[in-house]
Structure 1
Amino acid sequence: MAMRRFLGTYYAYVFLFDFMLAYAIYTALFELKGISIAEIGMLLAFWSASAIVLEMPSGALSDHFDRRVLLVIAPLLKALTFVCWGVANGNFWLYGLGFLFWSAGQALQSGTREALLYERLAEAGRSDEFDNILGRDAAAEGIGIGAGTLFGGLVAHFNMDWAIWLSIPPLLLGAGLAIGLHDNRRTYAADDGETPTTYLSHFADAIGEFRRHADLRFVTVYMAVGLITFELLEEFDQLYYLAVAVPIWLWGVLGGAVELLYAAASVWAHRLSGRPWLAWALPLLGGALLVAASLGDNPWYVLLLELAYVAIAPVAVLAEARFHRIMDGRSRATTTSALVVAQNVAGIAATLMFGFVADWLGILPAYGWAGLAMLPIALWVWLGQRRGMRAID
């Protein structure tokens, strides 16, 4: 009963953290408020860079102190994002400050959340269910994003500023719920009876994890280089919609629908465990769908694009679950934050490359080349498996 109550609170927290009505319109709002496209690009680059800088220090904080406190603070920091944007009225620096608060809030909860979940399951003797429950975690997040996008589009139809201000109440509610997410470690700087734990020692522990476990390095590269492609492409989907003439009123519906389908695929991901060949087969399938979508000359081709995102959902969940199962150290959140840093660094590089290709060849061919990039990635995973490496269980 206690675990059921914990999981219910946990899923609600995950949902509320991403139930942001602003997701549907914030870049468009910036432009309407007088921010140029070049300045928007600078803001997005600053967002990514600040996330990289803050991620591992916040992971070490999580390993050293009460995880619950950080989960309470995280949505409050993210709420300050929308306070800044709500009063900015075209002020570039206030939009930048908002992104800094967003990065700080995201960094505090990213590694913390998964570490807390794994530790609670391990304490209850249910760590073998982690991939199943992590799939539901991804589903709760996806449903939150999808619902926020859908309702944000509807609210913005009447007033875009409302979509910004109404993004704050879910975060305040999430902070309240986090009080019930008890950290089960006996001490927050707990040691193993040999070496005292300090804040800085968590960084050394994380480095040690990657040095000891070749599989951990393999999974990290797989998630940061292979799977991140599909996540970054979503940032360009509105340009794809324009290219294939999807009506603007349908954008929010498409965004919400793909998140719901992604959530469903994440929930069912655990049923595909025990098939390590899916680690190369599903990215290859997703790449083929991207290539097919790049041939589009009418709105129906967008269905191929959305299916590419859904195809990758199961291996994203299973790879993350394997990442946590490989770890054996006491600095779980810091090590997870290192994965997030790797994903952000790879994401920035891939975004710049995709933008260059899209500028040079056009948005549709750029999606096709992104799909073709899955060929060498799938080959690398297949060769790695022949050497005994596994990206998923």
Structure 2
Amino acid sequence: MLADVVPLYPLYALFFADSGMSDTEISALFAVWSVTGLLTEVPSGALSDRFPRRHVLGLGGVLQAGGYAVWLALPGFAGFAAGFVLWGIGTSLFSGTVEALVFEGLSEAGVPELYPTVRGRITAAAHLTQLPSAAAATLLFAAGAYAAAGWVSVGTCLAAAALAQTFPEPPRAGPPPDEDAEPDGEPDRERPSTAAPEAVGPGYLATLRVGVAEAAGLPLLRGALLAVALVNGMDALEEYFPLIVGQGPGGAAIAAVPLLLLVVALAGAGGAGLGGRASRLGPLALAGVFGVAGLALGFAGAGGAAGLVALGVFHGLQQCVLVVVDSRLQERVSGRARATATSVAALGAEIVALAVFAAWALGGSPWIAVGTVAIAVLLPRVLRRG
């Protein structure tokens, strides 16, 4: 997501505040957003592998800016739906592209082992910038400047898109998919490509086919893809953090919820920042960390200070483990279609997110806590054997 590059997004809830839409209509909009992500996740990854990644990031930023602009111009259900489609496509363009760009850049510099540390810092920065952006959006909206909050969002997305064009474009790993066999018929995935960034291999469909085939055909890679999908899918619980903070006998007052959520964001930043150190953990230890996250989530619904701390522990540990499993995934991708393969994991995360939504509807955070512990039990197996 572009939030991994230069994050500054006012809360989209601000755009709904004066819309007059029903809860059913708002839920339908989230469904439009989710379906858009499901349909475009992997195809957009192949686009990133086919064309310069910085251009793909820029296009994603422009589409998200367009989504905000449509919301401002057409503040009704149809306009919001169109904006969510643009936003969903833009988000899918970032997914996989950022990871591939960072890993390839570090590999070109000869330090791919630094990926967990750098990835953790990027994720931590994305969490930390929620603080000033949420504060700015809230102040603008409180002052009655609804349009100002929207146009600031548009400008921020466009500025990030322009900044992305300054990123260096390292050579792609491995030969183009239609040339990935040596005269003796053996693949040579490690030979660096000498193609210029604007000419990065064969056609789009060939790139998509090779990326999906690699993701499906290599057991170790399949295991890492599944681990990322399972852990990343738990991010969907963030949508319910306000409800968790406000529920229970010691639940916070509605007016205090936004401020308390910043504490959870700080915990997420701290956990992500520890991802580099946690990358040394083996599968069993990593599973233990994620298991503790699940246990903490089980206590989060109690409300009050204890519930807030428990929710922060869950979020911090989940973000830490996510950085580690994403690093394992990047280490196991060997072909040119890195963003496509990574997007397969993101597609899996979207499916897991749907399960999280269903679990919340059935029983709230305790059911999701049980699911988190179940994922922890699976992690050693999928990370070792695929």
TM-score norm. by structure 2 comes to 0.86
The answer on whether the counterparts of 2:14 and 2:141 sit within 8 Å (CA) in structure 1 is no
Q: Following the alignment from structure 2 to structure 1, what is the Cα–Cα distance between the partners of residues 369 and 150?
A: 34
Q: Is the 8 A contact 1:60 1:334 kept in 2?
A: yes
Per the alignment, do residues 32 and 339 of structure 1 end up closer, same or farther by CA in structure 2, a change over 3 Å counting? same
SS at structure 1 position matched to 2:95: helix
**DSSP 3-state at the match of 1:32:** coil
Residue 184 (structure 1) shift: 2.2
Residue matched to 1:177: 163
Query: How far off is 1:382 after superposition?
Result: 4.0
Between the aligned partners of 2:143 and 2:168, the Cα distance in structure 1 is 40
**Is 2:63 the counterpart of 1:80?**
no
Amino acid at match of 1:310: G
Number of aligned residues: 363
Q: What is the DSSP-based 3-state SS (H/G/I as helix, E as strand, rest coil) of the residue aligned with 1:339?
A: helix
Shift of 1:20: 0.8
207-216 vs 46-55, which deviates more?
Answer: 207-216
Q: Report if the CA contact (8 A) 1:147-1:256 is conserved.
A: no
Q: Contact 2:64/2:86 (CA < 8 Å) preserved in 1?
A: yes
CA contact (8 A) 2:38 2:347 kept: yes
Match of 1:132 in 2: 117
Match of 1:237 in 2: 241
Kindly indicate whether the alpha-carbon contact (under 8 Å) linking 2:268 and 2:312 is maintained by their aligned counterparts in 1: no
From 354, 370, 373, the counterpart of 2:371: 373
Alignment of 1:95-106 (within 5 A): 95-106=80-91
Q: How does 1:43-192 map to 2 (within 5 A)?
A: 43-89=29-75, 91-159=76-144, 161=146, 162-185=148-171, 190=176
Map of 2:297 onto structure 1: 290
Does residue 19 (structure 1) correspond to residue 8 (structure 2)? The answer is yes
SS in 2 for 1:148: helix
Q: Is the 8 A contact 1:84 1:95 kept in 2?
A: yes
Q: Deviations over 1:42-82 (max 9, x none)?
A: 10011011011112111111111121211222111111111
Whether 1:211 aligns to 2:196 is no
Tell me the equivalent position of 2:320: 314
For the residue of structure 1 that corresponds to 2:171, the secondary structure is coil
Aligned twin of 2:281: 275
Q: 2:20 aligns with which of 34, 38, 47?
A: 34
**How far apart are the structure 2 equivalents of 1:306 and 1:194?**
46
Q: What is the alpha-carbon root mean square deviation over aligned residues?
A: 2.6
Do 2:246 and 2:252's aligned partners in 1 also have CA atoms closer than 8 Å? yes
Q: Which stretches in structure 2 are left out of the alignment for 5+ residues?
A: 182-200
One-letter amino acid of the structure 2 residue matched with residue 20 of structure 1: Y
Q: Do the aligned partners of 2:215 and 2:225 also contact (CA within 8 Å) in 1?
A: no
What residue in structure 2 maps to residue 352 of structure 1? 358
| CA distance in structure 2 between the aligned counterparts of 1:302 and 1:187, rounded to whole angstroms | 44
- Tell me how far apart the structure 2 counterparts of residues 223 and 190 of structure 1 sit (CA, whole Å): 26
| 1:389 and 2:385 aligned | yes
* Aligned CA distance change for structure 1 residues 96 and 325 (closer, same or farther; 3 Å): same
Distance 1:101 1:119 in 2: 28
Q: Which runs of 4+ in 1 moved over 6 A?
A: 186-189
Residues 154-203 of structure 1 show CA distances to partners (whole Å, capped at 9, x for unaligned) of: 33222261332321222121122112112223799945744773211122
Once the two structures are superposed, the pairs formed by residues 335-350 of structure 1 within 5 Å of their partners are 335-350=341-356
Relative distance call for 1:384 and 1:12 in structure 2 (3 A) is: closer
- SS of the residue corresponding to residue 290 of structure 1 reads helix
Q: Distance in 2 between matches of 1:335 and 1:382?
A: 21
- Could you state the TM-score of these two structures normalised by the residue count of structure 1? 0.85
Gaps of 5+ in 1: 1-10, 358-365
Distance 1:98 1:122, change over 3 A: same
The SS at the match of 1:309 is helix
Is the 2:173–2:334 Cα contact (8 Å) retained in structure 1?
A: no
